[in-house]
């Protein structure tokens, strides 16, 4: 049975992991989740499998996604999260393993009809394992840092970035929601953050979606190397 869940975007499509993967649509009390299941890994494409049915960040059904993984016995989850840097020292092309996050808005929860409260964290165990896997694979990563999650799908204004950079290092639209629901379900969650751009205002020219996707593709080789080594060491 697979032990590890991997949540990411299109960067992992076409990898050998999925050559014999079994495609499943899991039905949960929170909705459906699409899974690609192999012997040692369950991949959950958070944005879907193609451009025609792309799921925007603010429409991702995190409770359904994580409950589907939980029902398959998954306890450890690695999120691959594209993000922008709010610090000059964190340059596009780098990989970060954050140790905390800020997420104030539109917070998903499995608790809908019964009381429930958690103090969400990023798993120290998964973080340490990711760092060891990266080091062993010869991939430099930035250890630690705070991820700020915005709702999306729009990017941030210059004024918003000036405020946010006082408290966080990188910014994105998915990690906080995923970590929160994972904690509610008693699952361990850690993230590999692909730094794909400088946030609005740190460079003169405004960002385009095309530029962000091109940068993410360049980071794909590093992410794949880390995950491959993680599966070898801890799978």
Domains in the chain, start-ordered, CATH in brackets? 4-234 (3.40.50.1580)
Task: Give the confidence band of 100 by pLDDT, cuts at 50, 70, 90.
Answer: very high
Cα–Cα dist 107/14, whole Å: 32
- Work out the average pLDDT over 112-138: 94
Residue 146 has pLDDT above 70, yes or no: yes
Cα–Cα dist 19/22, whole Å: 9
- Work out the average pLDDT over 17-21: 76
Average pLDDT, the chain: 92
> Using CA of residue 93, residue 59, residue 52, residue 228, what is the dihedral sign?
positive
**Cα-flanking dihedrals φ and ψ of residue 83, to 5°?**
-150, 170
- Work out the average pLDDT over 108-121: 91
Residue 205 has pLDDT above 80, yes or no: no
- Work out the average pLDDT over 39-46: 93
- Work out the average pLDDT over 99-128: 94
Task: Give the confidence band of 19 by pLDDT, cuts at 50, 70, 90.
Answer: confident
Residue 14 has pLDDT above 70, yes or no: no
**Cα-flanking dihedrals φ and ψ of residue 188, to 5°?**
-90, 130
pLDDT at 21: 87
Q: Which helix (H) or strand (E) holds 211?
A: helix 209-234
Residue 10 has pLDDT above 70, yes or no: no
Closest CA to 77 of 174, 178, 188, 176: 188
- Work out the average pLDDT over 183-210: 89
Residue 24 has pLDDT above 70, yes or no: yes
Closest CA to 125 of 80, 179, 189, 186: 189
Lowest mean pLDDT among 80-94, 130-144, 213-227: 213-227
Q: What is the pTM of this model?
A: 0.93
Cα–Cα dist 42/34, whole Å: 10
pLDDT digits (tens, 9 = 90+) for 50-87: 778 889 999 999 999 999 999 999 999 999 999 999 99
């Amino acid at each position: 049975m697979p032990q590890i869940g991997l949540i990411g975007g299109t960067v992992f499509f076409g990898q050998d992991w999925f050559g014999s993967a079994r495609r499943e649509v899991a039905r949960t009390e929170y909705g459906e989740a699409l899974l690609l299941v192999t012997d040692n890994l369950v991949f959950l494409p958070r944005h879907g499998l193609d451009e025609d049915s792309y799921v925007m960040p603010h429409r991702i059904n995190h409770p359904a996604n994580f409950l589907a993984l939980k029902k398959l016995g998954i306890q450890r989850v690695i999120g691959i999260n594209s993000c922008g840097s709010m610090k000059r020292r964190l340059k596009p092309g780098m990989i970060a393993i954050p140790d905390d996050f800020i997420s104030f808005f539109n917070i998903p929860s499995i608790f809908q009809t019964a009381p429930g409260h958690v103090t969400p964290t990023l798993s120290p165990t998964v973080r340490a394992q990711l760092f060891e896997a990266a080091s062993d694979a010869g991939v430099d990563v930035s250890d630690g840092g705070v991820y700020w999650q915005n709702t999306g799908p729009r990017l941030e204004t210059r004024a918003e970035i000036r405020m946010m950079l006082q408290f966080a290092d990188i910014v994105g639209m998915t990690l906080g929601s995923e970590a929160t629901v994972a904690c509610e379900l008693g699952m361990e969650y850690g993230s590999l953050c692909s730094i794909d751009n400088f946030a609005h205002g740190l460079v003169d020219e405004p960002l385009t979606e095309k530029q962000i996707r091109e940068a993410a593709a360049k980071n794909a080789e590093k992410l794949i190397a880390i995950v491959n080594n993680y599966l070898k060491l801890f799978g």
